[in-house]
Homo-oligomer: A and B are copies of this chain.
């Protein structure tokens, strides 16, 4: 897969171009349009978006900080290729943070928030009814959005930013190690989690969230990957 396959919008108003490119690349990565290991050459990306390498470097640096891109000095940037160990750490972190977010969200959730959650669920439902790879991508993103909304409602901007990173990296991990396309298996979970939030049952919400994350992780094949160096080498081009 080449980044040239990505049909990007013309960057309309483009307030901050580096940020816009970061967003585009980010979505491409978590939507799995850009495979892990894909090289992101500064010149190539710059040509695609019609900006100089300066701007591209800025965007790539941001993505590198988020863990979505791995940069090697004098070699270039590549879509990250998280190891099974990294994957475990990401999910461990989520199991730690998300129940706390739920507890905080329960203190603050209002009707408007519930409505937004329901919109997200409806979108997930709509996508689940369809078939096709692009639909599947949108579905994965919508699933992540549910967790991001949870972080937003919880009202802790610091944790929300962490969650943004964790959700993005989760998508990458699922792309790499997902056994089935069953990332959607957790959809029903989202509904029950929202229910727990509405009932202000923090313990239940926390329990459901942990199980939800367990489910997602259980669908992964995190075995050390036989020829690790080899596999990585093969995957990187």
- CB contacts under 8 Å to B, within A54-89, are 54, 57-58, 61-62, 65, 67, 73, 86, 89
- Contact assessment for B93 and A156 in the assembled complex, using a CB-CB cutoff below 8 Å: yes
From residue 159 to 199 of chain A, which have CB atoms closer than 8 A to chain B? 159, 162, 166, 169
The smallest beta-carbon distance between A162 and chain B, in angstroms, is 6
Known: A16-B73, A73-B16. A92 touches B61 (CB 8 A): no
A158 in contact with B89 given A16-B73, A62-B65, A65-B65 (CB within 8 Å): yes
Please list the residues of chain A having a beta carbon within 8 angstroms of any beta carbon in chain B: 15-16, 54, 57-58, 61-62, 65, 67, 73, 86, 89-90, 92-93, 96-97, 100, 156-159, 162, 166, 169
In the complex, the count of this chain's copies comes to 2
B96 and A96 within 8 A (CB): yes
Q: Which residues of chain B are within 8 angstroms of A15 by Cβ–Cβ distance?
A: 73
Note all chain B residues with C-beta closer than 8 A to A61: 58, 61-62
Chain B nearest CB from A227 CB (Å) reads: 23
Please judge, given known A-B contacts A158-B166, A166-B158, whether A96 and B100 are in contact too, CB under 8 Å: yes
Give every chain B residue within 8 A of A158 (Cβ-Cβ).
Answer: 67, 86, 89-90, 92-93, 166, 169
Interface centre among A65, A96, A97 (most CB of B within 10 A): A96
A220 to B172, CA, bound (A): 40
- A96 to chain B minimum Cβ distance, whole angstroms, is 5
- Cβ A93 vs Cβ B58 within 8 A: no
CB proximity of A167 to chain B, nearest CB, Å = 12
Give Cα A15–Cα B74 distance, bound, in whole angstroms.
11
**Chain B residue nearest to A19 in the complex (CB):** B73
CB distance from A107 to the nearest CB of B (A): 12
Q: Which residues of B contact A86 (CB under 8 A)?
A: 157-158
Asked if B92 and A156 make an inter-chain contact with CB atoms under 8 angstroms apart, the answer reads yes
Question: What are the residues of chain B within 8 A of A90 when measuring CB–CB?
Answer: 158
Given the known inter-chain contacts A96-B96, A96-B100, please indicate yes or no for A89 contacting B159, CB distance below 8 A. Answer: yes
Whole-angstrom CA separation of A15 from B65 in the bound complex: 18
Most B Cβ at <10 Å: residue of A54, A73, A158: A158
Q: Which residue of B lies closest to A18 (CB)?
A: B61
